[in-house]
């Protein structure tokens, strides 16, 4: 059991990170499309379907992927081939590498071993993030230069100048946080944010360093080339900027890298300023002790949400039962049944969670009728294995980590949604305004924040 669990954790951590990151990309694209649609009073994608299943336009992403994969991959004859091909891979690699140090739950302690819940536990912490992020410029520079296209080059120049300018304030805005938490290790910073200020306010980075939060968030918008800083692209001036010569999957890599970057910045903002995996007012030890309350409550909450979605989908289904049905009209029927089944499953789960796994010799087998007898029918070895799995002492740690992981993902998605929200709300800057903001407003503010923080902590001792 020990060997298996450590193997799962060693391979599982980076795998989970990749799985999360790569699967959140389509979700982000869907959020972007649907979110922009609702902000602009449109409906958004709702046509593409598989057997009638549209999932509110999420299936559209599948159509996109098929399109991008089957499109001709054109390498123009005038490009510098090697750099041209390397650039999108650099973009994607750099974006994915950053995630290695983000902690997505507190360290899970099983037996005597402690497993930090991040792909790589580096002592240099967020400096690693800054270092890797600073390499992201090469993707832009290389693609712009290698395209041998004046729009591409101009886009690359603009973008790299923007990235360099905002990297300075970005790094400086984080130094105050290091002063506050006395460490650069991300997991320690998150642990420090579990404490309470004045006895009731979580000591999150946003509370103790509000200016740094605003500065960092602004820089994050600039670093991801998002509106209001999306100057590298401009249909009326430089077309698509540095990726104007890219098509098919090479374009898709740039496109995906943009969303991975949003998710990365969202994760950094979450980790440094919004308490990371901390569930507010519930530090790890407390959470672990009260899992028998937290887990049933969470399962009940999910049940309620699924019941509500059943009601909504059912009404949608009844409203769409016309005589000549498009396959898409039947979606409501299947989804409402699915959410009802899910609600039932979570209801059962919530009763199970009351007794298991906190009370490790609890009555799990007797909870489900006939479970005991069914277990006794099995050969001894298999039964032993199943019982060992059910009564494994590591479950408490695993479920605590899962709860914290959900808290982390929730915050991450909220910040990611903020990126989309801002993109479809604010107008873009002019290029000189962007530079002026970066160097004449952000940089002095970041420095002032640094000085004030330093003085305050020096006086406090």
Partner 1 sequence: METFLFFLFALMAVAGGVLTISRRNPLAGAISLVVTFLAVAGLYGLLQAPFVAVMQVLVYAGAIMVLVVFVIMLLNMPEEDLGQERISRGRLAVGLVVGVVLLTLFAVTWLPLDLSALPAAGQADPPRDFGSIRAVGALLFRSYLYPFEIVSILLLVAMIGAVLLAKRHLD
* Residues in region 67-106 near partner 1 by CB under 8 A: 83
For residue 350, what are its two tokens? 């919530």
Residues 6+ apart with CB under 8 A from 414: none
Distance in angstroms (rounded) separating the CA atoms of residues 262 and 416:
6
Least distance CB 82 / partner 1 (angstroms): 9
Start-end of H helices in 274-379: 284-289, 291-319, 331-355, 364-367, 371-377
Least distance CB 377 / partner 1 (angstroms): 49
Distance in angstroms (rounded) separating the CA atoms of residues 186 and 116:
11
Classify strands 201-202 and 196-197 as parallel, antiparallel or unpaired: antiparallel
Q: Which of 339, 338, 203, 211 is nearest to 275 (CA)?
A: 203
For residue 176, what are its two tokens? 């105050």
Least distance CB 216 / partner 1 (angstroms): 17
Q: Which of 22, 164, 374, 456 binds partner 1 (CB under 8 A)?
A: 164
* Residue 161 binds partner 1 (CB under 8 A): yes
Comparing CB distances to partner 1, the nearer of 246 and 310 is 246
Angle between helices 395-423 and 248-273 (to 10 degrees): 110
Give all strands (DSSP E) within 188-230, no chain letters: 196-197, 201-202
* Residue 157 binds partner 1 (CB under 8 A): yes
* Residue 142 binds partner 1 (CB under 8 A): yes
Least distance CB 321 / partner 1 (angstroms): 60
* Residue 257 binds partner 1 (CB under 8 A): no
Q: Which of 23, 40, 123, 322 binds partner 1 (CB under 8 A)?
A: 123
Least distance CB 127 / partner 1 (angstroms): 5
Question: What's the distance, Cα to Cα, between the start and end of the chain in Å?
Answer: 48
Residue 282 DSSP SS3? strand
* Residue 145 binds partner 1 (CB under 8 A): yes
* Residue 135 binds partner 1 (CB under 8 A): yes
- Torsion-angle region of 64 (φ positive above 0: left; ψ -120 to 50: alpha; else: beta): alpha
Least distance CB 137 / partner 1 (angstroms): 5
Least distance CB 384 / partner 1 (angstroms): 38
> Segment contacting partner 1 (CB under 8 A): 44-52, 133-141, 309-317, 452-460?
133-141
* Residue 134 binds partner 1 (CB under 8 A): yes
CA atoms 209, 215, 216, 221: torsion sign: positive
Least distance CB 171 / partner 1 (angstroms): 8
Q: Which of 132, 415, 437, 442 binds partner 1 (CB under 8 A)?
A: 132
Least distance CB 209 / partner 1 (angstroms): 19
Distance in angstroms (rounded) separating the CA atoms of residues 150 and 168:
28
* Residue 398 binds partner 1 (CB under 8 A): no
CA atoms 22, 94, 116, 281: torsion sign: negative
Q: Which of 141, 217, 231, 274 binds partner 1 (CB under 8 A)?
A: 141
* Residue 128 binds partner 1 (CB under 8 A): yes
Please give the distance of CA 383 from its chain centroid, rounded to a whole number. Answer: 39
* Residue 144 binds partner 1 (CB under 8 A): yes
Comparing CB distances to partner 1, the nearer of 128 and 419 is 128
Question: For residues 283 and 190, is the Cβ–Cβ distance under 8 A?
Answer: no
Comparing CB distances to partner 1, the nearer of 225 and 227 is 225
* Interface ranges with partner 1 (CB under 8 A): 83, 122-124, 127-128, 130-135, 137-138, 141-142, 144-145, 153, 156-157, 160-161, 164, 167, 184
């Amino acid at each position: 059991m020990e060997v298996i669990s450590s193997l799962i954790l060693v391979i599982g951590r980076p795998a989970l990170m990749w799985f999360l990151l790569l699967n959140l990309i389509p979700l982000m694209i869907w959020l972007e499309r649907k979110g922009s649609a609702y902000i602009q009073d449109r409906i958004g994608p709702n046509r593409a379907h598989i057997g009638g299943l549209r999932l509110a336009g999420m299936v559209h992403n599948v159509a996109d992927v098929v399109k991008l994969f089957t499109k001709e991959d054109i390498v123009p004859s005038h490009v510098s081939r090697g750099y041209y091909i390397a650039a999108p891979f650099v973009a994607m690699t750099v974006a994915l590498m950053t995630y290695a140090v983000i902690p997505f739950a507190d360290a899970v302690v099983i037996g005597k071993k402690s497993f930090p819940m991040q792909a790589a536990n580096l002592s240099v912490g967020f400096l690693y993030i800054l270092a890797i992020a600073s390499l992201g410029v090469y993707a832009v520079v290389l693609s712009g230069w290698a395209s041998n296209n004046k729009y591409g080059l101009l886009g690359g120049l603009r973008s790299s100048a923007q990235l360099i300018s905002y990297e300075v304030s970005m790094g400086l805005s984080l130094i105050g946080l290091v002063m506050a938490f006395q460490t650069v290790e991300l997991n320690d910073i998150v642990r420090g944010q579990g404490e309470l200020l004045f006895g009731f306010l979580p000591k999150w980075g946003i509370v103790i360093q509000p200016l740094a939060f605003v500065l960092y968030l602004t820089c994050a918008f600039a670093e991801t080339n998002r509106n209001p800083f999306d100057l590298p692209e401009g249909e009326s001036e430089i077309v698509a900027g540095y990726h104007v010569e890219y098509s098919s999957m090479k374009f898709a890599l740039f496109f995906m890298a943009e969303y991975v970057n949003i998710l990365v910045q969202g994760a950094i903002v979450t980790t440094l300023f919004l308490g990371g995996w901390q569930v507010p007012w519930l530090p790890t030890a407390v959470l672990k002790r009260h899992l028998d309350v937290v887990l049933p409550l969470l399962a009940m909450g999910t049940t309620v949400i699924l019941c509500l979605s059943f009601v909504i989908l059912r009404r949608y289904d009844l409203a769409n039962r016309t005589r000549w049905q498009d396959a898409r009209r039947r979606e409501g029927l299947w989804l409402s049944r699915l959410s009802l089944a899910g609600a039932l499953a979570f209801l059962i789960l919530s009763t199970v969670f009351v007794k298991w796994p906190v009370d490790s010799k609890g009555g799990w087998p007797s909870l489900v009728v006939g479970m005991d007898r069914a277990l006794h029918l099995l050969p001894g070895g298999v039964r032993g294995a199943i019982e060992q799995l059910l009564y494994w002492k590591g479950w408490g740690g695993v479920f605590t980590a899962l709860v914290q992981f959900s808290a982390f993902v929730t915050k991450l998605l909220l910040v990611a949604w903020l990126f989309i929200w801002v993109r479809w709300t604010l107008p873009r800057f002019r290029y000189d305004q962007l530079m002026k903001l970066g160097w004449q407003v952000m940089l002095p503010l970041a420095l002032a924040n640094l000085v004030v923080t330093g003085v305050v902590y020096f006086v406090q001792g």
